Amino acid sequence: MAYEIVVLTNMAISILFALSLNVITGFCGQVSLGHAAFLGIGAYTSAILSKAGVPLVVTFIPAMGMAALVGLVVGVASLRVRHDFLAITTMGVVFLFTGIVRKQDILGGEIGIAGIPAPEFGRIGLLVTALLCVLAYLLFVIRIRKSWAGFAFDSIAEDEDTARLLGIHVPRFKLFAFLVGTAGAGLAGALYAHQIRFIGPDSFGFVESISVLAMVIIGGIGSIWGVILSAALLSALPQFFQIIDDFKLLVYGLLLFGAMRFAPDGIDGLLKRLFRRAGGTR
């Protein structure tokens, strides 16, 4: 039973992490290749506070705040770049973050931070907390999707110049997307730190950024339910098939290739086509 709880908790954290990137890349069309840095910022913030005696739940707000603050800075720096240049800019964030962490003794340096306190409410309590965090963030994201901000995001993702002609304040909504997305990643990082109870710079490298991007693409860019399903599957499979964990990048690369070739709109689009086809044969 304990193993199943760990797997479910990992799935919940991955879903939250993927949803947070989906706000930036899926909703607003801003390609981010450094999202793992914000997961790390949340994890380190929560870990340091917890070791100082602060309860886990209380660390959520500082973890989200620190990640969102850095995300806002990255968002401001990214306002003048698009497409490939934006991807390169955000990719640099993850290398900058890991480089800083490795040189700071207060952050554990190369060794990392061990002995992160276990959650006060146990493993089951952590799972329930993670699920509640996912639910709260999901409802918030759905609310955004159905609001004026969701329309603005769609317009920016489609064509920034046209969005400006429609009267949309593009920089404001881009920054809002980074703010919401990086705050969600920070929350996922706080949960991750207490799930693993050890964090180091290698836990938040470029591979993790590519992994979560794969979850978004395979699920369907911009799709909420497709990304949830993709994140759940891709986080659970390595727990049952060791070969997937050993060759994660190869497996993710093959899945991405297959998605681009046979289901460019991801799991979400594939399921919709199957349902339409099934409905048409009745």
| Domain 2-280: which CATH number of 1.10.8, 3.30.410, 1.10.150, 1.10.3470 | 1.10.3470
| 172-184 average pLDDT score | 95
pLDDT of residue 244: 63
Q: Quick check: 208 and 58 in contact, CB under 8 A?
A: no
Q: Quick check: 253 and 259 in contact, CB under 8 A?
A: no
pLDDT at position 282 over 60: no
pLDDT at position 205 over 70: yes
Using CA atoms, how far apart are residues 196 and 162, in angstroms rounded to an integer?
Answer: 45
Q: Which residues, at least 6 apart from 16, have a Cβ–Cβ distance to it below 8 Å?
A: 130, 133, 134, 137, 184, 187, 188, 191
Q: Which residue has the tokens 């920070």?
A: 186
- pLDDT confidence band for 240 (50 / 70 / 90): low
| 95-108 average pLDDT score | 88
Helices 206-219 + 2-21 axis angle, to 10: 80
Alpha helices in 22-55 (DSSP H): 36-51
- pLDDT confidence band for 107 (50 / 70 / 90): confident
pLDDT at position 261 over 80: no
**pLDDT per position as a tens digit, 21-58:** 999 999 998 888 889 999 999 999 999 999 998 998 99
**pLDDT per position as a tens digit, 113-134:** 988 888 878 889 999 999 999 9
pLDDT of residue 154: 92
Alpha helices in 146-265 (DSSP H): 148-158, 160-165, 170-196, 206-219, 224-240, 242-246, 248-262
**pLDDT per position as a tens digit, 125-158:** 999 999 999 999 999 999 999 998 999 999 998 8
